[in-house]
Amino acid sequence: MEENSLNTAAAALRHQVEAASLDSAEELEHFRIRFLGQKNGRITRLFKHIPQLPPKERRDAGRLLNELRTFARAKLEAARTSVTTEEAAVQGLDLTLPGRSNQWPGSRHPITQALAAIKDIFIRMGFAVAEGPEIEDDWHNFTALNFPVDHPARDMQDTLFVEASDQGTGGVMLRTHTSPVQIRTMLAGDPPFRLIAPGRVYRNEAITYKSYCLFHQVEGLVVDTGVTMADLKHTLFGFARAFFGDDVRLRFRPSFFPFTEPSAELDVWWALPEHPKGGRWMEILGSGMVHPNVLEAVGVDPERYTGYAFGMGVERPAMLRYGISDIRTFYENDLRFLDQF
């Protein structure tokens, strides 16, 4: 084909495109296939002649055909909009109405946001993330963590039992803390360990503004040669400054847990303008050096390895960070509360 005849063919096609009627979905589809179809569309087919033209004519021919194709597409799109609107009108829909403005985009729950921020800080400090089951057995939740069967420390963490325990052994329960994940990960691998384990935990608690029967924790575990309490304190203080800001007031206070020795808790100052003392301390985590009995229970040599562990709440740090005064609001699903995040 020569340029002349290509021009003629293009002009003829343009007339056909102009004349085509596009009043229904069928006509639209027919038009699309006839002119613009991938293989045999009339415009598409003309493009295939370009390579046969003398090189200096190809550019003009290409431009001409591109224009024709754009023209056909525009006509198709314009017709498509009016055909769909008309068909919708027939079905009683008016597509020209403005959109609904009360559609909420939604947002992540403040607990999810706090958890993500906590994880992010520890991941940057080189911690891996592990998980364990929420339904736990007595051995992982208590015994392997150095809670002897009749030890009163078990009473500090009463919970909901799925299967009754036989004097504290063999029971199945909703886990009271994330510490059993320490046991599961150490059993599954070899030191060194450096991980956090976020998740939900359950307790038979008196429900107040700062305690609930369900809450979240992030466990931390580091086991290696030469790990000391200084490493623990450094990590926790570094975390607290990253999470609450550099001017946070912290108190590191001795405590007791069967599975750590020595043990300590970390409190954060909660400034409350109406409070007589201007605020109060809020405990956010328990921690300590992993007890040698725990390392022995999972086959790690306590003569060779030492480690630290911590278990921090998520709700309380979230309350402090976002200025929430009652833990129960997290679980009520009241949109007036959730909307603020």
Binding site residues, ligand PHE, CB under 6 A:
177, 179, 257, 260, 263, 286-288, 309-311
Q: Of 298 and 309, which CB lies nearer to ligand PHE in the complex structure? A: 309
Query: Least Å distance between CB 142 and ligand PHE?
Result: 11
Q: Are 258 and 146 in contact (CB under 8 A)?
A: yes
Q: Of 3 and 261, which CB lies nearer to ligand PHE in the complex structure? A: 261
Q: Give me 175's structure tokens.
A: 């886990």
Query: Least Å distance between CB 263 and ligand PHE?
Result: 6
Query: Least Å distance between CB 259 and ligand PHE?
Result: 6
Q: Are 134 and 184 in contact (CB under 8 A)?
A: no
Query: Least Å distance between CB 290 and ligand PHE?
Result: 8
Over the range 170-205, which residues count as b (16 or more CB within 10 Å of their CB) and which as e? ebebbbbbbbbbbbbbbeeeebebbbbbbbebbbee
Return d(Cα 148, Cα 168) in angstroms, integer.
9
Q: Of 46 and 179, which CB lies nearer to ligand PHE in the complex structure? A: 179
- CB-nearest residue to ligand PHE: 311
Q: Of 202 and 270, which CB lies nearer to ligand PHE in the complex structure? A: 202
Burial class of 223 by CB neighbour count within 10 A (0 to 12, 13 to 18, 19+): buried
Query: Least Å distance between CB 180 and ligand PHE?
Result: 9
Q: Of 42 and 216, which CB lies nearer to ligand PHE in the complex structure? A: 216
Q: Of 310 and 330, which CB lies nearer to ligand PHE in the complex structure? A: 310
Smallest Cα–Cα separation from 268: which of 254, 251, 255? Answer: 251
Query: Least Å distance between CB 311 and ligand PHE?
Result: 3
Burial class of 321 by CB neighbour count within 10 A (0 to 12, 13 to 18, 19+): middle
What are the backbone angles phi and psi of residue 107, rounded to the nearest 5°? -155, 170
Smallest Cα–Cα separation from 127: which of 198, 196, 228? Answer: 196
Q: Of 31 and 257, which CB lies nearer to ligand PHE in the complex structure? A: 257
Angle 246-250-254 from CA coordinates, rounded to 5°: 150
What are the backbone angles phi and psi of residue 91, rounded to the nearest 5°? -85, 5
Query: Least Å distance between CB 333 and ligand PHE?
Result: 25
Q: Strands 128-129, 279-290: parallel, antiparallel or unpaired by DSSP?
A: unpaired
Q: Of 69 and 177, which CB lies nearer to ligand PHE in the complex structure? A: 177
Q: Of 143 and 179, which CB lies nearer to ligand PHE in the complex structure? A: 179
- Annotate 91-106 with DSSP letters as a single string: TT--TTSPPPS-----
Burial class of 231 by CB neighbour count within 10 A (0 to 12, 13 to 18, 19+): middle
Query: Least Å distance between CB 252 and ligand PHE?
Result: 13
Query: Least Å distance between CB 296 and ligand PHE?
Result: 17
